[in-house]
Amino acid sequence: MLKRTLVYLLSLLILVTDSATPSNSTGRAEGDSSSYEEQKTRPHGNLSLPAELHFGLTPYLPEDLLRREFEPLMAYLSLSLDIPVHLVISPNYEGLGTQLEKGHVDIASFSPLAYVLEKRRNASLRLLLGQIVGGATSYTTYIIVHSEHGIYQLEHLKGKAFSFVDRNSASGYLFPYAFFLKQGVVPEEFFSQVLFAGNHLKAIQYVIEGKVDAAATYSEALVAARESGVRVGSLRIIKKTGRIPYDAVCARGDLDLDLVHRVSSLLLHLDMSDDQGRRVLGNVLRINGWIEVSDEQYATVRQVLDMIEHHGSSPPSSGIR
């Protein structure tokens, strides 16, 4: 707890030099002559705010890495809104939706499949923004193996041990599972053992340590692993499967709409073109910012989910409730 508080205070001290007005990608200052449509979604001081806000994440990477990357963003939001914004990392993918429904989380950054599943059961969920990472709005799944194990093709994995990440992960389960089905492979029958690592770095480490012969992960996870000191040079990518939209930032349906606009505006005005954006946005995860998106952005995720469910395979756990 003390460590998290010190990280928060340090980030806040760094950000305070930029004053309370966030920079934006157009270089305009607050109170300029921009259009009403631009100004109405910008931060303003006339809103009656709650005592605090809670910003939730799915645990797609280890908690310490996620906190290191996202705590500066929480400090930025806290300073700009003039209320504490706390980072909440769900214990599992499914749990984030439950926390939001119970009011324990106000704003949440859902992984793509977690968003689709939560929207299915919670129609009031308000989609705000999509994430940009490494200059892209989508990513892909990698099937990785150890380079010394002589595995080059899918058929070489027959009878081997395989690790997914989580049943609610798009790149760590849904898309690779669909890829296997399209190849005529039922993972539970094809592999000698199927494990769920819980997060992407652990799945990568399972392969490096020889706990499994192959694993599914997402493209940027290898970058994050390398920056975290994991020796990914011993890994080989044997397959890439599909393009997946990046994470969806959402709000509780009953959260004040003006407050939702303020949070959205603050995130939209962050990018890597100025000093503030570079301090707030993490380096390891290569988050560049956010853009406005519609629910249609996640249509491909729904299509793949429908295909798996119609096939009769075990769907993600939070799809059944």
Domain that holds residue 94: 2-136+246-300
Q: How far apart are CA 130 and CA 309, in angstroms?
A: 26
In a domain, 321, yes or no: no
Both 160 and 19 in a single domain? no
Q: Can you spell out the DSSP letters for 224-286?
A: HHHHTT--GGGEEEEEEEEEEE--EEEE-TTS-HHHHHHHHHHHHT--TTSHHHHHHS-SSS-
Higher pLDDT, 288 or 40: 288
β pairing state of 248-251 and 214-218: unpaired
Q: In this model, does residue 166 exceed pLDDT 60?
A: yes
In a domain, 265, yes or no: yes
Are the C-beta atoms of residues 41 and 264 closer than 8 Å to each other?
yes
CATH number at residue 204: 3.40.190.10
- Out of 33-42, 69-78, 209-218, least confident range: 33-42
CA 34-276-6 angle, 5° bins: 135
In a domain, 318, yes or no: no
The count of domains in the chain is 2
C-alpha closest to that of 55 among 202, 264, 228: 264
> Which residues, in sequence order, are bridge partners of residue 193?
161
Both 240 and 251 in a single domain? no
Assign 314 a pLDDT band (cuts: 50, 70, 90): low
Question: Tens digits of per-residue pLDDT, 167-182?
Answer: 999 999 999 999 999 9
Assign 44 a pLDDT band (cuts: 50, 70, 90): very low
Q: In this model, does residue 14 exceed pLDDT 60?
A: no
Both 212 and 113 in a single domain? no
Residue 129 makes CB contacts below 8 A (sequence gap 6+) with 248, 249, 264, 267, 268, 290, 291, 292, 293
In a domain, 312, yes or no: no
Query: What is the pLDDT, as a whole number, of residue 48?
Result: 61
For residue 66, how far is the Cα from the chain centroid? Answer: 10
In a domain, 129, yes or no: yes
Where is the domain boundary, 205, 221, 244? 244
Both 235 and 253 in a single domain? no
Higher pLDDT, 34 or 175: 175
Both 170 and 257 in a single domain? no
| 3 state SS of 86 | strand
Q: How far apart are CA 79 and CA 105, in angstroms?
A: 19
C-alpha closest to that of 103 among 69, 46, 52: 52
Q: What sections of the chain are H helices per DSSP? A: 2-15, 36-39, 63-81, 93-101, 112-121, 175-182, 187-190, 200-209, 219-227, 257-268, 275-280, 299-311
Full-model pTM: 0.79
Both 127 and 154 in a single domain? no
Average pLDDT over every residue of 153-166:
96
Q: In this model, does residue 45 exceed pLDDT 80?
A: no
In a domain, 35, yes or no: yes
| Residue-averaged pLDDT of the chain | 84
In a domain, 309, yes or no: no
Give the chain's radius of gyration (CA, Å). 20
Both 121 and 142 in a single domain? no
Check the CA dihedral 221-223-224-229 and report its sign.
Answer: positive
Q: In this model, does residue 120 exceed pLDDT 70?
A: yes
Q: In this model, does residue 312 exceed pLDDT 90?
A: no
Both 146 and 273 in a single domain? no
**Two tokens, residue 160:** 């081997």
pLDDT > 70 fraction of the chain, expressed in percent and rounded:
82
Average pLDDT over every residue of 242-250:
95
Both 53 and 127 in a single domain? yes
**Two tokens, residue 168:** 């609610």
CA 244-201-271 angle, 5° bins: 55
- Which one-letter amino acid corresponds to residue 235? L
Both 125 and 157 in a single domain? no
Both 255 and 281 in a single domain? yes
Average pLDDT over every residue of 222-246:
89
Both 206 and 266 in a single domain? no
In a domain, 308, yes or no: no
Where is the domain boundary, 196, 228, 244? 244
Residue 116 makes CB contacts below 8 A (sequence gap 6+) with 298, 301, 302, 305
